[in-house]
């Protein structure tokens, strides 16, 4: 005997259903919905979301709608920064300072200094292992051990600590 699930499942918590405010323009609520998606799926910063919402290459919302969205979104910006930091550590093997710089960069993630500091302070990363992975990539470019060490610690390079670079080399 076959049973089928009900088509209209009403188990969704009522608190999770957004209440439409007739005084809020549809464009504003649409921008807020997009902002929430960017925050929850891509762990973006407040400024990053605003820029994406207003970009001519992005969502093309008005500045007012985007501002409404970032002012009304319920997001944990520290958690978003920490998630981004984890991505940089795990996929790009970045140093603590490199991650911090990427998180605050106007050309990067655009988190606040406090959010980025929270992220690097709370990230559980093995920076020696990250330095080793970076050193391997430089070794594949036929760089000498000293050139690799210099690149790993350079303020214009990877920004690992001397201890992390020594370990890697």
Residue 20 has pLDDT above 90, yes or no: no
Give the Cα separation of 16 and 71 in Å (integer).
19
Q: Flag whether pLDDT at 139 surpasses 90.
A: yes
State how far the Cα of 77 lies from the Cα of 119, in Å rounded to an integer.
Answer: 10
pLDDT value at 5 more than 70:
no
Structure confidence at residue 147 (pLDDT): 97
Is the pLDDT reported for residue 112 higher than 70? yes
Supply the DSSP symbol for 56: T
Cβ–Cβ < 8 Å for 53, 31: yes
Give Cβ neighbours of residue 135 (< 8 Å, ≥ 6 apart).
148, 152, 165, 168, 169
E runs forming strands in the chain: none
Task: Tell me, rounded to whole angstroms, the distance of Cα 44 from its chain centroid.
Answer: 5
Tell me the CA distances in angstroms from 155 to 98, 130, 159, 160, one per residue in order: 9, 16, 5, 9
Residue 39 contacts residue 33 (beta carbons within 8 Å):
no
- Taking residues 109-123, report their average pLDDT: 98
Neighbour-count burial of 98, counting CB atoms closer than 10 A to its CB (0-12 exposed, 13-18 middle, 19+ buried): buried
Give yes or no for residue 15 having a pLDDT over 60: no
Residues 33-50 pLDDT 10s? 999 999 999 999 999 999
Residue 8 confidence (pLDDT) above 70: no
Alpha-carbon distance of 160 to 9, in angstroms, equals 52
pLDDT averaged over every residue in the chain: 90
- pLDDT at site 9: 40
pLDDT in tens, 56-70: 999 999 999 999 999
Q: Are 73 and 98 in contact (CB under 8 A)?
A: no
Say if residues 123 and 89 touch (Cβ distance below 8 Å): yes
User: Which DSSP symbol is given to 20?
Assistant: P
Q: Tell me what percent of the residues of the chain surpass a pLDDT of 70.
A: 88
Residue 140 has pLDDT above 50, yes or no: yes
Which pLDDT band holds residue 13 (cuts at 50, 70, 90)? very low
């Amino acid at each position: 005997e076959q049973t089928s699930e009900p088509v209209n499942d009403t188990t969704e918590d009522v608190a999770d259903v957004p209440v439409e405010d007739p005084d809020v323009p549809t464009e504003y609520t649409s921008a807020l919905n997009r902002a929430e998606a960017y925050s929850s799926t891509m762990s973006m910063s407040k400024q990053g979301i605003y820029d994406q919402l207003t970009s001519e290459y992005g969502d093309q919302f008005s500045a007012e709608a985007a501002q409404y969205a970032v002012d009304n979104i319920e997001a944990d910006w520290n958690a978003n920064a920490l998630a981004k930091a984890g991505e940089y550590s795990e996929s790009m093997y970045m140093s603590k300072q490199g991650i911090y710089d990427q998180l605050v960069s106007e050309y990067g993630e655009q988190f606040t200094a406090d959010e980025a500091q929270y992220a690097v302070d709370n990230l559980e990363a093995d920076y020696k292992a990250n330095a080793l992975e970076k050193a391997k990539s430089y070794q594949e470019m036929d760089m000498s051990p000293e050139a690799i060490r210099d690149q790993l610690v350079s303020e214009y390079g990877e920004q690992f600590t001397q201890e992390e670079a020594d370990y890697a080399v």
